[in-house]
Structure 1
Amino acid sequence: MTVSRRAVLGGSLAVAASSGLPAATAAAGPVSGAAGGSAGGSAGGRLVNLAHLDFLGDSVSPPAVAGHSSYGTGPLGVLWTYADRRADGSYARIGGGPYDAATNTYGQGAFNADDIARAAVVYLRHYRAHRDAHSRSAAYGLLRGLAYLQTTSGPNAGNVVLWMQPDGQLNPSAEPVELPDPSDSGPSYWLARTVWALGEGYEVFRTVDPAFARFLRSRLELALDALDRQVLVRYGSWNIVDGRRVPAWLIVAGADATSEAVLGLSAYVRAGADRRARRALARFAEAVAAMGAGGIREWPFRALLPWGESISIWHAWGAQMPSALAVASTVLGDRRLLPPALGDTAGFTPLLLTAGGPDNGWLSAPVDRTQIAYGVDARLQGLLNVATAANRPGLRQVAAFVAAWYFGANRAGEPMYDATTGRTYDGISGDGVINRNSGAESTIHGLLSMLALDANPAVTRQVDALTPTRPVLSGLQVVEAESAQLSSGAAVVTPPSAWTGESQWSNGSYVALPAGSQAEWTLPSVAEPRLVLPVVDLVPDRTAGRSTWSTGGVIDHGSGGPQGVSAAFGALLPVAAGVLPAAETTLTARSTGPEVRVDALLLLPLISRLQLGSDELLVSVDRHPRSVPVAQRGIAYSYTASGVLHSRRPVTGRAEVLPGGFTVVLT
């Protein structure tokens, strides 16, 4: 089976099997101490601790291969992909895919360009913050290793090989196969991340090692050559995805991948790149900005969508879009990039937090509730960067609610980052089970978050006040359609695959309602009115049926747009069907016309809440200002839908929440 890195949303949590691990790769890290439950920091008062990232590092002297070279001489810096936790608490470095002891190779490889590039960014940012000689040296080594993975000649010049074996041999066609295959045969996530690392590397080394910086610049220009001929050649062209216009010049059709290239190009332009790089930055940022969608009550609730081939998917991992737009806005002096970034950070992210946090996948129902550091870091970086670029300091208060995830404010109720070792665990499952492995990706994004928190001490102080505590939530609820009482003719349908090609049936099933049939759901009673958003299969067929809801809403299931480049006919989308009054526990839907399909119900309180300790985040999808009861005493900061501070008042039992806005209550 061939897959892309997007294909399995939970893939970032998966760790390759380690059976048959060779002694050379089983080097164990120190036994972990207890992970602290606050953001108090490691030695010296800093949260960031590079020890585990250093442990994952290695060096290799690869064999000579045509079209692959690097700067200078000597071994190249690389990074092991995974770190398995052993029974004694130690960690062993391993590669990806099945291990073959006879050849000392993995099905994928030991080292990969994605993680090498992002680890280089960690060391570069640490060097910029602290002028640390070790970080500078580590970044230098990893950038040399990354450059070797870039193909320098032939039709694929500028592209990047993803995997390398323990002895330095390149593995351009890994098992399982990933697209593109071979991995340097087209644009890719790893090409985008290479641009990120080269851009930030050039910005640092141009003053401390001009000769090396010139080399990095030549490799970045080579990457731009590839992007120009493979991606930006489509600039100005648009695809249709279920009726929505989507830019055709996103890297691998991903705003997520493109956003990471934008971060690197922003650093490159900031450091004095020429007009070509500035033009590429502007065009890629324009494409990312075009992915903002929805409204206060309309899917995806002002989020920036990550994938240019589906309007039904949002995922937390890699969703660096608001950060990229904020940074590019500042570098380019283009404030037109900020409104979609504000919608994502001031609108969607607070709702996401009250719904349980940065889940791996909403498709459109939140079907993958795994949470990983990559997704948490993307939310944190977005809030902090947009707060600075748009002058919205209130977003830093929201950022503290995100960052608290690392220190125990998560569904497991336990810390995910240990400042005494520098480890970030590989994720938390939807039912609160921690994967205590600590691979490269989680380590990298945990450290990027810690660097950001170290640079924002006020946010860190707020995090200390929020943790350790489990979140108390009153937000989005999901009710499976098949939990309804069905009238004669209605049926639960389980298709052969839950994956539709561009989205996924929640719980793997849906309810089919032929004309005249009815579904009735019994719901838990809550004190807050709830917006009812059935997730239905909208198709571009004006003869399709309708569903009438007891909340007064009528959904036209044939109102979908033309399929375009989407892989499936129709799209699973939440559609507002009215408001369920407070304490109401019965909801019904009746079909008229041809059969309609209902996947799940999203029930969104008009005022959602997240409580961590004695502090609260309140979020509104109401159309009117609301004064709502608050148990804690403190200060209520009330913000508009675009994150502008509206009022700052002592709490006297109630707090004001504006339409589409959020309120932070700090005690």
Structure 2
Amino acid sequence: MIFILRLNTFLLIQLLFLFVSCNESDTPFPEKVSVEINQNSDIEIIPSEPLPNSAINFSHFNHLYNEINFNEKKVGIINIYSEYPNYTYAIEPKEGFTCVDDVSRAIVMLTKYLELYGHDDIALEKLKNLTEFVLQMQNQNGYFNNFLWNDLTINTKYRTSIAVLDWWSFRALWAIESSYPFLKSDLDMANRIAAASEKLIKNIKSDLPTSYLITEIINTIELPTWLPGKSAADQSAILILGLLNNYKRTRDQDSKLIIDHLAKGIMFMQKGDANNYPYGAFLSSENLWHAWGNDQAYSLLRAGQAFNNQEYIDSALLEIENFYPWMLQNGFAEAFWINKMNNNFIEVNRNEYPQIAYGVRPMLWAASEAYYYSKDDKYLTIANKLRVWLSGENAANKAIYNPDTGVCFDGIVGPNEINMNSGAESTLETLLMLIEIEKIKK
């Protein structure tokens, strides 16, 4: 007999900058409004087995993960915010308590876990339940809504939850296509993943302006106009990763064509070279580079290997070989903006903080992938210099990750100053780093 535990905890919301945000498209670190609400007593938490592992501590992930009944289905969810000192759940009042963005991160993390460690019934069960949640969040229009309210209604109105061509829909595609190989023996699940993916990609094919690869100049920088949000190379990288998995499953030539257009746009966003600032960095959008979600090099490496396209690979290696060492030597940043002057690029503004796991993980993945591709130890050296960010080689000179508890702090907010909250984004991005580190060891 399975006993159902009812969740009657108070969810606290505080006014502060929390670094585990699901609203990446515009403002990654929103202010929170202080209110206190009751978690709906009708939400039933279904007991689930914790994910154990001797090499990586999943305790905090197990804390953030719950299974609930949603739309008459058992689904897995990830609580977004978790606040120091007791790591109680919190909620952003305009968003919700769980979201497609972070559940999708968890799906990708579990697929990486299964690739590394092999069959694991507990991991597979969680993967299935999290995938079910994402499928339930697909809007009738084919895109995905992002947030779920604490009364188990879908947030369809707030700007970071609308079902449109944006981060959460791309991350949902990456997630469900990643989970498909592990869940395809469940024919119902496999068919629903395929149908959801097809419906979403049909919209993407229609809505991405890739018919005309034209450019425009904004803030002195020549930019592509055919990417999501016109020049969002960061979003394009996530979309490439989803489309690559789709192409592997379907061999859809349209997906391959979109990947090529996205890759061309990302390469157009690369500025500088080995000898000139910003040393081959891929801008994120317009004249802005930001650390979080900067998966451009990793996605180009994966696409280049999939399609034997050396141009993609060389572009990625240019950033990894030159910009990453420059960043490591000169100090991490949260973001910077550049302009072009006399055929050179100059920095016109910079944000040093916050520095977060979501800003380091993309670089670690790219450096590791470059090492797997080339077997050149210089990339392994870069990866090792990045991994120690977690253990104290950072601007705060403090460990960000505690291997005894599985807690990863939400970020460095100033010199020697840590945000000690530990929400979903920080936790999952750290686990993605740790799994990659274990993979390198093998």
If the TM-score is normalised by the length of the shorter chain, which range does it land in? 0.7 to 0.9
Deviation at 1:416, TM superposition (A): 1.0
3-state SS of 1:239 partner: strand
3-state SS of 1:456 partner: helix
The code of the aligned residue for 2:202 comes to D
Point out the more displaced range, 371-380 or 361-370: 361-370
Q: Is the 8 A contact 1:113 1:163 kept in 2?
A: yes
Alignment partner, residue 141 of structure 1 = 129
Q: 2:217 and 2:190 mapped to 1: Cα distance?
A: 41
The code of the aligned residue for 1:118 comes to R
Q: Is the 8 A contact 2:210 2:258 kept in 1?
A: no
Q: Which string of whole-angstrom CA distances, capped at 9 and with x for unpartnered residues, describes residues 296-339 of structure 1?
A: 343322101111xx22x211100011110011111112111012
3-state SS of 2:109 partner: helix
Query: Under a length normalisation based on structure 2, what TM-score does the superposition of the two structures give?
Result: 0.84
2:116 maps to which of 105, 111, 129: 129
Q: 1:386 and 1:171 mapped to 2: Cα distance?
A: 39
Q: Is the 8 A contact 1:126 1:132 kept in 2?
A: no
Aligned pairs (5 A) from 1:348-367: 348-357=323-332, 359-363=333-337, 364=347, 365-367=349-351
Alignment partner, residue 376 of structure 1 = 360
1:396 maps to which of 357, 380, 383: 380
Change (3 A) 1:296 1:331: closer
Alignment partner, residue 278 of structure 1 = 256
The code of the aligned residue for 1:452 comes to E
Q: 1:256 and 1:330 mapped to 2: Cα distance?
A: 20
Deviation at 1:183, TM superposition (A): 0.9
Aligned pairs (5 A) from 1:474-493: none
Aligned pairs (5 A) from 1:1-40: 5-8=24-27, 11=29, 16=32, 19-22=35-38
Alignment partner, residue 55 of structure 1 = 63
Alignment partner, residue 195 of structure 1 = 173
The code of the aligned residue for 1:322 comes to A
Deviation at 1:210, TM superposition (A): 4.3
Change (3 A) 1:355 1:277: same
1:259 maps to which of 230, 237, 245: 237
Alignment partner, residue 83 of structure 1 = 82
Q: Which string of whole-angstrom CA distances, capped at 9 and with x for unpartnered residues, describes residues 233-278 of structure 1?
A: 4452333334544222212331111111212222232344322222
Residue 399 (structure 2) pairs with residue 411 (structure 1): no
Give aligned-pair identity as a percent: 22
The code of the aligned residue for 1:225 comes to K
Q: Is the 8 A contact 2:269 2:283 kept in 1?
A: yes
| Higher Rg | 1
Q: Is the 8 A contact 1:282 1:332 kept in 2?
A: no
Q: Which string of whole-angstrom CA distances, capped at 9 and with x for unpartnered residues, describes residues 474-528 of structure 1?
A: xxxxxxxxxxxxxxxxxxxxxxxxxxxxxxxxxxxxxxxxxxxxxxxxxxxxxxx
**Higher relative contact order by CA 8 Å / sep ≥ 6: 1 or 2?**
2
Aligned pairs (5 A) from 1:649-660: none
Q: 2:175 and 2:144 mapped to 1: Cα distance?
A: 13
Q: Is the 8 A contact 2:291 2:360 kept in 1?
A: yes
1:228 maps to which of 194, 205, 210: 205
Q: 2:400 and 2:319 mapped to 1: Cα distance?
A: 25
The code of the aligned residue for 1:7 comes to D
Q: Is the 8 A contact 1:123 1:139 kept in 2?
A: yes
3-state SS of 1:340 partner: helix
The code of the aligned residue for 1:170 comes to I
Q: Which string of whole-angstrom CA distances, capped at 9 and with x for unpartnered residues, describes residues 382-412 of structure 1?
A: 1111222344331111111111010111122
Deviation at 1:442, TM superposition (A): 0.5
The code of the aligned residue for 2:128 comes to Y
Change (3 A) 1:231 1:384: same
Query: Under a length normalisation based on structure 1, what TM-score does the superposition of the two structures give?
Result: 0.57
Q: 2:353 and 2:82 mapped to 1: Cα distance?
A: 23
Change (3 A) 1:53 1:281: same
Q: Which string of whole-angstrom CA distances, capped at 9 and with x for unpartnered residues, describes residues 535-582 of structure 1?
A: xxxxxxxxxxxxxxxxxxxxxxxxxxxxxxxxxxxxxxxxxxxxxxxx
Q: 1:449 and 1:15 mapped to 2: Cα distance?
A: 27
Point out the more displaced range, 189-198 or 269-278: 269-278
The code of the aligned residue for 1:166 comes to N
Deviation at 1:21, TM superposition (A): 4.8
Aligned length: 401
Runs of 4+ in structure 1 displaced over 6 angstroms? Answer: none
The code of the aligned residue for 1:274 comes to D
Q: Is the 8 A contact 1:127 1:133 kept in 2?
A: no
Residue 189 (structure 2) pairs with residue 212 (structure 1): yes
Q: Which string of whole-angstrom CA distances, capped at 9 and with x for unpartnered residues, describes residues 594-644 of structure 1?
A: xxxxxxxxxxxxxxxxxxxxxxxxxxxxxxxxxxxxxxxxxxxxxxxxxxx
Q: Is the 8 A contact 1:203 1:267 kept in 2?
A: no
Alignment partner, residue 7 of structure 2 = none
Q: 1:384 and 1:108 mapped to 2: Cα distance?
A: 34
Q: Is the 8 A contact 1:128 1:204 kept in 2?
A: no
The code of the aligned residue for 2:87 comes to Y
Q: Is the 8 A contact 2:391 2:398 kept in 1?
A: yes
Structure whose residues are more often helix by fraction: 2
Q: Is the 8 A contact 2:100 2:168 kept in 1?
A: yes
Q: Is the 8 A contact 1:83 1:93 kept in 2?
A: yes
**CA RMSD across the alignment:** 2.5
Q: 2:176 and 2:258 mapped to 1: Cα distance?
A: 15
Q: 2:378 and 2:278 mapped to 1: Cα distance?
A: 22
Deviation at 1:447, TM superposition (A): 0.4
The code of the aligned residue for 1:240 comes to I
Residue 145 (structure 2) pairs with residue 161 (structure 1): yes
The code of the aligned residue for 1:22 comes to N
Aligned pairs (5 A) from 1:563-578: none
Alignment partner, residue 14 of structure 2 = none
Deviation at 1:165, TM superposition (A): 0.5
Q: Which string of whole-angstrom CA distances, capped at 9 and with x for unpartnered residues, describes residues 132-162 of structure 1?
A: 211111111111111111113xxxx221112
Q: 2:331 and 2:259 mapped to 1: Cα distance?
A: 34
Alignment partner, residue 94 of structure 1 = 90
3-state SS of 2:92 partner: coil
Change (3 A) 1:441 1:348: same
Change (3 A) 1:93 1:128: same
2:306 maps to which of 331, 334, 338: 331
